[in-house]
Structure 1
Amino acid sequence: MNPVLSWQEHGECHSAAWRSESRHQPPQRIEAVAQISAEQALSLIHQNTALLWRGDYHQGKQLLAAIKKRVRSHSKPAADFHRHRLQQSQHSRLFNLLLLEVQPGFMLANGRAPDVQAALADVYGSANETPFLLPLNALLGFIGAHEWHKQGVPVPALGGAHIHVPFGVFSPLRGEYLDLLASAPLPPHTQTAWDIGTGSGVLAAILARRGIAHIIGTDSNPRAVAAARANIRRLGYSAQVQINATDLLPAGSADLIVCNPPWLPAKPGADIETALYDPNHAMLHALLAQAPARLNPGGELWLIMSDLAEHLGLRPANALAQWFADAGLAVAAHSHTRPQHAKAQRQHDPLHHARSRETTSLWRLVPQ
């Protein structure tokens, strides 16, 4: 249930639901403005007063850009991962306190406002019948995500076919680990496979392209389930792949279980970050505890894992090997690659010292 916020405007009391994809608390106060300097805006925002922007849409974007520039210019680079995450969260809270009022039918009343109906429908589904408040920063993210959703991400491991990912679902931009999955030798006579935490469905699609006859992809995120089903259907693999709204493993057993779990043991700040952050590696531990007993004879568990957590000091270097052994699993093979994404190359990135050393591995595990 979205919280309802109230404010005074022109001597009248107004109220509307507040929507935000972040996990920040709603603002304590709201002040409607049509013109304000970035300095004045920041002064109010630092007091946890949200600004309901009534002015020109593009001027609102300029105000948000000015706020971001001032906040970042006064912030020193974080010395470690936890401080970096805290700084990110603090910045996100500030940037999300410049609001727009979305009118019924996903319409904006601001001057020169673009048509945002398709972008908001991509996130929320059916159009709203009552107004709601939305951070401008979030709306810009929705618009960008909608364009990516339409365009799709080309995947070389799928012969260049595109995977289309809506907002709220992790995008397969890191193709290097997809290539590991596409080239690893399958267990002999593999007929059944599970893709756990399927997300966009890209791993299930790669397994289908490799000729596995019966594949089940599972995910507990409704947006991911819908996206995976759409991608599988679009790629022509519906006869081989079934996508289930299931948390972790489906019923039965499989010849191959594949999972790309969250790599970093930290608390997510938004729902979309659950694909990256998982406190205490909870999903990985649950999978290791359950998967060995669900493999058919001769079956394998494939894990795609980055060692970034080790370089950030979030996981001991020997932890994975110990966890595998504790679960009764042995390493049948191990292949790895270096990331090619832009962040790994940015020397000014606060976490460059770790990203520059990162490797991504495919662990092929078998019951002992």
Structure 2
Amino acid sequence: MSDFPLIQWSEADTAHSARWRSEAGVAPPKRVVIADDTTTADNAYKLACEGTALLYRGDFQNARMLLQAMARRADRKKAKQAQSPTEAFNLHRMAQAQRARTLGMLLIPFDAGHLIPLRRAPEVHDACLEAYGAADEGYVTSLRELLGLIGAHEWRKKGVEIPALGSRIHPYYGVFSPVRGEYVDLVARIDLPTGAEALAFDIGTGTGVIAAMLAKRGVKRIVATETDPRAIACANENMQRLGFANRVEVVKADLFPQGRAPLIVCNPPWVPAKPSSPIEHAVYDPDSRMLKGFLAGLTAHLEPKGEGWLILSDLAEHLGLRTREQLTEWIEKAGLKVIGREIIRPRHGKASDADDPLHAARAQEVTCLWRLAPV
């Protein structure tokens, strides 16, 4: 843990310091005061908005209630009226970032071994170990991040039901959970190209859900690629659970593995914007880097009569962040042609939530599987 930065504060006229943990890469706050069960939500929220962090010394459950009260105050802020879908998206992202910064100012101390030295604190050793690894000394993290770790640990234990797969996928912390499973339905229902029964590539496998779907459909060998060590471990564990470990090889590679395949599938991040935390890399792809890289390299890794399956939501188009013409231009520039398209509408709650800031775009969204082949 010596590689982690220090957070410093004064308590009872004595200087203190501890290691700072932030999976989102947030720098340790410069100003820290002590909070306890007497701290009011109004005062805590005011200090947090000013950039002052509050290190809690009291009852853990009271700290949770304080965070909830701060969240209610943050949510009262009226959003500026957007003049376009793109402005609505940018304002929404700015509001999300500000909310995360403010709520991230309520801090929790830890002793070595991931123990919380507060009254009524839960046992969180396993959740923290999965995300942080071993802790041989004390540290400080935000309560908001800790609650995220606990939630991710529960998802990892119980898994996410994937109806098309007929099984559960167990996501790790920091690996995007396939809670929006409609894209798996597309992979499940489209006819496999000739030769794909023998070999397929799954580019950016994440939890391994698409590789698992291909294995369920009878593909004898799947090479799944990833760059994130957590995702590699997660995909490998899911293949073991599902009984596909002898058919799915998960390798570390930026996009494509070595060789060619008759079927190559990729579900890249859908929105060309900058991620603000590690898990957002599964949703936000700056300058469409992964999308462009997949298209540009596809012909070099497809067998002559093979197909590339690009799975992509058109939400970015409805937000004004990318046009359909740009996408088709990238496809043509890569020496590819479109030989088929299958679409499916999202089933998640935000698609029908009129109060969502991006409702106008989400209401039009569809997810498409583009069947691509060399010209």
For 1:106 and 1:325, the matched residues in 2 are separated by 52
Q: Describe the superposition over 1:174-206 as per-residue Cα deviations: whole angstroms up to 9, x where unpaired.
A: 121111111111111221111111000000001
| SS of the residue 1:107 aligns to | coil
**Aligned residue identity for 2:9:** W
Equivalences for 1:102-117 in 2 at 5 Å?
102-117=110-125
Moved more, 263-272 or 34-43: 34-43
Shift of 1:72: 1.1
Confirm or deny that 1:69 pairs with 2:62: no
Match of 1:172 in 2: 178
Shift of 1:224: 0.6
Equivalences for 1:71-86 in 2 at 5 Å?
71-76=74-79, 79=82, 80-86=88-94
Confirm or deny that 1:294 pairs with 2:297: no
Shift of 1:329: 0.5
Shift of 1:168: 0.4
Match of 1:345 in 2: 352
| SS of the residue 1:90 aligns to | helix
Specify which of 122, 125, 143 is matched with residue 130 of structure 2.
Answer: 122
Runs of 4+ that moved beyond 6 A: none
**Aligned residue identity for 1:161:** S
Specify which of 2, 19, 38 is matched with residue 21 of structure 2.
Answer: 19
Contact 1:78 1:350 in 2 (8 A): no
Shift of 1:320: 1.4
Specify which of 9, 12, 35 is matched with residue 10 of structure 1.
Answer: 12
Shift of 1:78: 6.0
Contact 1:78 1:87 in 2 (8 A): no
TM-score (norm 2): 0.95
For 2:269 and 2:362, the matched residues in 1 are separated by 16
Shift of 1:216: 0.7
For 1:103 and 1:78, the matched residues in 2 are separated by 46
**Aligned residue identity for 1:174:** R
Match of 1:58 in 2: 61
Contact 2:266 2:311 in 1 (8 A): yes
Q: Describe the superposition over 1:120-150 as per-residue Cα deviations: whole angstroms up to 9, x where unpaired.
A: 1121233x01111110011111111111111
Shift of 1:77: 5.7
Q: What is the aligned-residue RMSD (CA, Å)?
A: 1.1
| SS of the residue 1:318 aligns to | helix
Q: Structure 2: any 5+ residue segments left out of the alignment?
A: 83-87
Q: Describe the superposition over 1:275-299 as per-residue Cα deviations: whole angstroms up to 9, x where unpaired.
A: 0001110111111111111111211
Specify which of 306, 313, 316 is matched with residue 306 of structure 1.
Answer: 313
TM-score (norm 1): 0.97
Q: How many residues align?
A: 366
| SS of the residue 2:211 aligns to | helix
**Aligned residue identity for 1:88:** Q
For 2:23 and 2:48, the matched residues in 1 are separated by 19
For 1:282 and 1:77, the matched residues in 2 are separated by 31
**Aligned residue identity for 1:22:** A
Match of 2:199 in 1: 192
Among the aligned pairs, what percent are the same residue?
47
For 1:226 and 1:30, the matched residues in 2 are separated by 36
Equivalences for 1:256-335 in 2 at 5 Å?
256-335=263-342
Specify which of 184, 188, 192 is matched with residue 182 of structure 1.
Answer: 188
Match of 1:45 in 2: 48
Shift of 1:26: 2.5
Confirm or deny that 1:141 pairs with 2:143: no
| SS of the residue 1:268 aligns to | coil
Q: Structure 1: any 5+ residue segments left out of the alignment?
A: none
